[in-house]
């Protein structure tokens, strides 16, 4: 069982100024249509090769289009000891601010 957060609860946390580690696992063309500005983009297929970028002491919130891919990423990472949360409903249900990846400064 993977912990879950709703898009509205995530939006509220961001509006309250919480610092969260949000990972968007959609493909490049999807994030260009808009992603949560505070999110980091790591496509689902790159997660196993970029595992060293994650810290087992931190909590990560994963996002995709509908919540399915992010749930699979959460199951994978949870099985190897990471603290993860899936945003149910994905970007289809997100009502907060979005920006194309190209406009997000890292």
Backbone phi, then psi, for 38, in 5-degree steps? -80, -5
User: CA quadruple 25, 29, 31, 33: dihedral positive or negative?
Assistant: negative
Cα within 13 Å of Cα(103), Cβ side: 11
Residues with catalytic annotation?
64
For the chain, strand residue ranges (E) read 3-5, 21-24, 40-41, 59-63, 83-87
Which residues, at least 6 apart from 44, have a Cβ–Cβ distance to it below 8 Å?
25, 26, 64, 69, 72, 73
């Amino acid at each position: 069982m993977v912990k879950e957060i709703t898009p509205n609860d995530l939006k509220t946390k961001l509006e309250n100024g919480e610092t969260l580690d949000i990972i968007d696992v959609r493909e490049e063309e999807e994030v260009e249509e808009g992603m949560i500005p505070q999110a980091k983009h790591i496509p689902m297929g790159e997660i196993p090769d970029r595992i060293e970028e994650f810290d087992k002491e931190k909590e990560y919130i994963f996002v995709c289009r509908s919540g399915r891919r992010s749930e699979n990423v959460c199951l994978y990472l949870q099985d190897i000891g990471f603290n993860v949360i899936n945003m149910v409903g994905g970007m289809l249900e997100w009502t907060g601010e979005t920006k194309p990846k190209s406009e997000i400064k890292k």
